[in-house]
Amino acid sequence: MRRVLISGVGVAGPTLAYWLREAGFEPTLLERAPALRSGGYVIDFWGLGYTIAERMGLLAEINRDGYHVQELRIVDEAGHRLAGFGTAVFAELTGGRYITLQRSRLSHLLYERIDGDVEAIFGDEITLVEEKLDCVEVQLKHGGKRRFDLLIGADGLHSAVRKLVFGPQRKFERYLGYVVAAFEARGYRPRDEDVYLIHGQPGRMIGRFTLRDDRTLFLLVFAADRTTLPEAPEAQKMFLRRIYGEDGWECDRMLAELERAGELYFDAVSQMDAELVTRAGGSHR
């Protein structure tokens, strides 16, 4: 078993491809998007992920591109501090092995470690999976049939591989009652360097975080009925305007920036039940 197809070029896919290649396998990466994704939210990067990145020789780049947040600050409608805390405790608990990083930037750094050494197919997707006696045969939407020894779905919450092999997402998804949205704005003021600001109302909150290159990230989290969520970007923007349109603080300016945003991340906060997927796998075989 040497040939491995990995569906998804986010964080897990390139990481797995790197270590499979190190072990002598021949991984191929497949991504539905035409290129690596940009934008999205920031993550607190520490623990096992930090250790793996270190073993991949990525710490210098991660510290260069990441952010050393000093404070999480909760503000009222006038922008005055209500509560918060410093982040020094996280640095102490992790021995300084803690940083805030855009998820998309982490994905780019991981992919750069294998770029040119691993076959990568962008702008294509799997439409059919057939398990043969000696291989897994996949039908690509644009690239025809390919054969591999192993197929791995690293394509996230809305995994196409899971859907093709085990059935529709609704069989395994546990919706947790919230939605998250994120977008970037350029030239936004004020800029609060190394501070994560939060303004909240019952059932919803807004986070604002200053990025490099005169960019600002907005993160919105709110409670919502799963059945009411729109799919089209313009409808999603309208949905957010209805939720945040009457709020104070910087919401008016934030919504004005949302109108100009070229890319909007918008998704339900859900969990896939591994036990249900395992049961479906047993019945599938």
Torsions phi, psi of 240, nearest 5? -70, -35
The pLDDT tens digits for 197-211 are 999 999 999 999 999
The pLDDT tens digits for 157-189 are 999 999 999 999 989 999 999 999 999 999 999
Burial 161-182 (b: 16+ CB within 10 A, else e): bbbbbbeeeeebbebeebbebb
Predicted TM-score (pTM) above 0.75? yes
> Which residue, among 87, 97, 106, 88, has the nearest Cα to 42 in the 3D structure?
106
- Considering the chain, what is the average pLDDT of its residues? 94
Taking a C-beta distance cutoff of 8 angstroms, is the pair 9, 31 a contact?
yes
> What 3-state DSSP class applies to 50?
helix
pLDDT at 103 over 70: yes
pLDDT at 285: 42
